Amino acid sequence: MARVYNFSAGPSCLPEEVLRQAASEILDYQGCGMSIMEMSHRSPTFQHIIDDAEATLRRLLGLDDGWDVLFLQGGATLEFAAVPLNLMRTRRAGYVVSGNFSKKAWQEGGKYGHAELLASSEDVNFSRIPEVGAIDQTLDYVHICQNNTIFGTMWHSLPACGSVPLVADVSSCFLSMPFDMSRYAVIYAGAQKNAGPAGTTVVCFRKDLVNDGPALSVCPTYLNWQLQATKDSMYNTPNCWGIYMSGQVFHWVEDLGGLKAMKERNEEKVKLLYDYLDQSRLFQPTAELPSRSIANVTFRTPNPSLDAVFVEGAKKRGICGVKGHRLVGGMRASCYNAVPKQAVEALVSYMSDFESTHQQQTRSL
């Protein structure tokens, strides 16, 4: 059976080259006689794998020795708690709510201190990134979700935080474009969008920020970033297979030209979709133009039942994963790094055919 065009939001499309490499090594990793899934995480072989993954990621992001890199578990969701547990030292932090996951992070932060709501776009169903006013410089940190997977929006300009550390959940735009790391204090991401399979979470933080003070006394040992850094992400058994796969994806990104090349590829892909949506009389984009995502393109027809027909028809064309999130309905095409341009072209072609077939609904707009 031929591979489908996979627009899933996560777990998502992985580079075919990486999958083939992993398949060739799944029984016997480079002549050691066993799979990575079987070997000790304390072995020299796995130590080389995790060291190589970190070194490649550091090159991609331009991280110097002032940063620590962790490969953890629990997804970005667990980091919603880890952030305040490590950084909310005066029990006051600021949160911008621009979607479902940033709202969850804000609610989680409120369990450990005062999580001040700096701005929200919930009143417009998260169709745009909200404007943020002057930020209190006594806050412990400001938290954002840089790309909102469900609603198809992203920050194109980071908030002006002054001296307040900026913490960003970058799960769905991680490795999809260059990051000016001088603007951040912490970034974290679930790997299952652009950086590998589900089960690995990458956390990058400035050492001076975390070392300035201890984590909260109630911080679980596993969530203590400083401790995890001293243990090289191996306080307990890590997700060895996930780290190996992420390392392979890091090399794939690097071989294709790095984050600048990824941004150019991704912008070219989503432009095909946005250009079609902007001239369509049937499909309606749901994110406001200045806030549109480079990763997740969200749209709908005027009728939820017609949305369902579209999604079922897409499957018959080998186009999978375009059903919108259960919270919002409609459709969503996640055009992550590994999604080829050919897949987006196939989706646009199907959308055009679908619109021609449903001209009565089109005229009713």
Q: Which residues contact 364 (CB under 8 A, 6 or more apart)?
A: 302
Q: Which domain holds residue 349?
A: 5-12+258-363
Res 365: pLDDT: 46
Give the amino acid at 295. Answer: A
Give the amino acid at 164. Answer: V
Do 249 and 264 fall within a single domain? no
Do 20 and 117 fall within a single domain? yes
Give the amino acid at 88. Answer: M
Q: Tokens 């072209």 appear where? A: 345
Res 187: pLDDT: 98
Among 174, 193, 206, 164, CA closest to 69:
206
Q: At what angle do helices 44-61 and 240-255 cross, to 10 degrees?
A: 40
Q: Into how many domains does the chain fold?
A: 2
Report the number of secondary-structure helices (H) and strands (E) in the chain: 11, 14
Do 200 and 237 fall within a single domain? yes
Q: What CATH number is associated with residue 153?
A: 3.40.640.10
Q: What share of the chain is helix, strand, coil (3-state, %, to 5)?
A: 40, 15, 45
Do 251 and 306 fall within a single domain? no
Strand segments, DSSP code E, in the chain are 5-6, 67-72, 92-97, 114-120, 142-145, 147-148, 153-154, 166-169, 186-190, 201-206, 284-285, 296-300, 319-320, 331-334
Do 238 and 276 fall within a single domain? no
Res 216: pLDDT: 96
Among 151, 150, 194, CA closest to 176:
194
**Low-confidence residues in the chain, pLDDT < 50:** 363-365
Do 136 and 262 fall within a single domain? no
Res 360: pLDDT: 67
Do 135 and 244 fall within a single domain? yes
Do 290 and 159 fall within a single domain? no
Pairing of strands 186-190, 201-206: antiparallel
Last-in-domain residue among 223, 239, 255: 255
Last-in-domain residue among 220, 255, 290: 255
Task: Tell me the C-alpha distance between 274 and 86, whole Å.
Answer: 40
Cross-strand bridge partners of residue 95:
117, 143
Residue 139: count other Cβ atoms within 10 Å of its Cβ.
22
Q: In this structure, what token pair is assigned to residue 331?
A: 């459709």
Give the model confidence (pLDDT) of 81-105 as tens digits.
999 999 999 999 999 999 999 999 9
Do 195 and 289 fall within a single domain? no
Do 219 and 292 fall within a single domain? no
Q: Phi first, then psi: give them for residue 294, nearest 5 degrees.
A: -85, -10
Last-in-domain residue among 203, 221, 255: 255
Do 236 and 266 fall within a single domain? no
Q: Which residues contact 249 (CB under 8 A, 6 or more apart)?
A: 14, 15, 18, 175, 191, 194, 195, 196, 338
Res 359: pLDDT: 75
Three-state SS at 343: helix
Residue 263 has, within 13 A of its CA and on its CB side, a CA count of: 8
Do 284 and 202 fall within a single domain? no
